[in-house]
Amino acid sequence: MDGGLQAADQQKTLLYYQENADSFAQGTMSADMSDLRSRFLRLLPPGGRILDLGCGSGRDSRAFLDLGYAVDAADGSPEMCRLARELTGQPVRQMLFGELDAREEYDGIWACASILHLPRQQLPDVLGRIARALKTGGVLYTSFKHGGFEGIRGGRYFTDLTLEAFTDLLGAIPDLLITGSWITGDVRPERENERWLNLLLKKVPARR
């Protein structure tokens, strides 16, 4: 895809969240993510440090904080950052995924329904940044709508993936290893027919 078109489509996504922040937060705040969070947290040390990457309203950051974890939250939308600050009572960094520059800082990175807004060709770079930000042994949870679509849908850019397609993207990131993958329906009753690819990955010493 042309780089100019990519940038324009990503701006559409950011604009969507700016203009629809309150309604988006209201529509997702009550979504029951407890099972997904539990699968992720059981792989982390108690009180470990988590980056909520693409935190949205701060729903999951708040849940992690309530369980005693140290949480850094970041989102690309200023308005979503504002909502997350109000919900969590702590600073939230306005940051695009490609601006992640942490090194060996996190026990876990939670990228729930967030990096799916990147064009497919940008995903390896961001996954590499995530790998660098994780401590060795650290865990990534991420999720994508299941399928092969890529483009604007409902005012936002989406890259849908299958497990095979995601595995291909990991070829350039030898220190991220898939440790779990599963398909679920959407937890929102009105969208229960939508399918999601859920992934858990562990940072391991780079394979030679």
Each residue of 69-107: pLDDT tens digit? 999 999 999 999 999 999 999 999 999 999 999 999 999
Assign 192 a pLDDT band (cuts: 50, 70, 90): low
For the cut 90, the answer to whether the pLDDT of residue 6 exceeds it is no
- Residue-range definition of the domain harbouring residue 119: 3-203
- Residue 194 φ/ψ, nearest 5 degrees: -75, 140
The pLDDT score that the predictor gives to residue 20 is 87
The pLDDT score that the predictor gives to residue 7 is 73
The edge-to-edge listing of strands for the beta sheet with 176-185 is 92-94, 70-75, 49-53, 106-111, 134-145, 195-203, 176-185
Instruction: Output the CA angle 117-176-169, nearest 5 degrees.
Output: 45
For the cut 60, the answer to whether the pLDDT of residue 1 exceeds it is no
pTM here? 0.92
Whether 169 maps to a domain, the answer reads yes
Assign 5 a pLDDT band (cuts: 50, 70, 90): very low
- Residue 173 φ/ψ, nearest 5 degrees: -125, 80
Task: Report which residue type is found at 133.
Answer: A
Whether 208 maps to a domain, the answer reads no
Average pLDDT, the chain: 92
Whether 120 maps to a domain, the answer reads yes
Percent of the chain having pLDDT more than 70?
Answer: 93
Query: Which CATH number does the domain housing residue 114 bear?
Result: 3.40.50.150
Number of domains in the chain: 1
For the cut 90, the answer to whether the pLDDT of residue 187 exceeds it is no
